[in-house]
Amino acid sequence: MNTTSAGPSLSVVITNWNYGRFVAQAIDSALGLDWPAVEVIVVDDGSTDDSRAVISRYGERITAILQENAGQGGASNVGFARATGDVVIFLDADDLLAPSVGKEIAAVWGPGVSKVQFQMQIVDADGKPTGAKLPQFPTVPSPEEIRRWASRAAAYPTPPGSGNAYARWFLQRLFPIEDPRTSPDSCFLAAAPHLGDVVTVAKPLVSYRVHGNNDGAMLTLNAERLGKEVRRAQWRFAYAQRMARTVGVSIPDAAFRNSLATLPYRLASLRFASDSHPITDDTLAAIVVDTVQAAFVPQGRSASSVAALVAWTILVALLPHRASKQLALWRFASPSRPKALQRAMTLLRVVSR
């Protein structure tokens, strides 16, 4: 174990593809961590913009790997193979780490921890905070609660990629990523509750940049992306089932229908892009029924946020196309919400401050 007297050593792996306008800020945030043992590894996955010129300016301060395009999974395979830290953060090239993240991780680290997760503040393309945070933590969940929610509802409150720090022993069970085009985040998030303890730090320690070209976050309602998210959720659930079986846990197929994280994408995909919806026998009525039933399956959400989601689901399913599409936009693209709506959601504790 490569530890210091203060705690575990930390590797930050940045995989980059054509994010030349952002990658320097990501690298700077990793180099600026208030922690004594940090290595920064940057894998450029065949960029055709000025990324490589930007990366080259850092010289020996980072480990730079320049390769032909192999997909995010392939780039992560290469980055992890070079990482030596006890704890590894896969930082998206358009996101930023807070300087204190190392200390916050060390304060809760321990044997059996598969990952530490923390909130992310959403910022715009220029790095200006929008006021929104994700995920919502009405209370700080225990690892046991997260494991139970993941098994019964195929969901738990978790940030996307950059909002997580993983144990080396945990990642060694998952790497190499089998399909280099697969998003490694899906593997990590699905397996973490079943192979170890997920520890939560309920404060924003990462800036999550939403600029319109993200793989996950949206600024507009992209019908193609909705179906993609459903397919990703299906893949992630199957992967979770497979990894859980390795430790003697069986996750029933029905758990997928309980996921309040997936149901909004399932509804929007069917409502606005039915021709490409991945679940061929799906119906609006079935999704509404599944959502109402899932509302009674604990998965780490506040009662007010669950009630709001049920109401949203019914309205999107029943309202005329134009009105339901506007509601969907507000759900998936938080920067698009009117300020009055955002304030009301905050006051009602649908979202946190």
What pTM value is reported for the model?
0.90
Six token digits for residue 235: 């893949």
55 in Cβ contact with 64 (< 8 Å) = yes
Angle in degrees, CA 92, 333, 202, rounded to 5: 60
* Residue 332 burial (C-beta neighbours within 10 Å; 0-12, 13-18, 19+): buried
* Residue 247 burial (C-beta neighbours within 10 Å; 0-12, 13-18, 19+): exposed
Q: What is the pLDDT of residue 353?
A: 52
Q: What is the pLDDT of residue 343?
A: 80
Q: What is the pLDDT of residue 216?
A: 53
pLDDT tens-digit series, residues 142-175: 999 999 999 999 999 999 999 999 999 999 999 9
Q: What is the pLDDT of residue 1?
A: 38
Q: What is the pLDDT of residue 98?
A: 98
pLDDT tens-digit series, residues 285-329: 999 999 999 999 999 999 999 999 999 999 999 999 999 999 999
pLDDT tens-digit series, residues 174-229: 999 988 778 899 999 999 999 999 999 999 999 999 876 655 555 678 877 899 99
Average pLDDT over all residues of the chain: 92
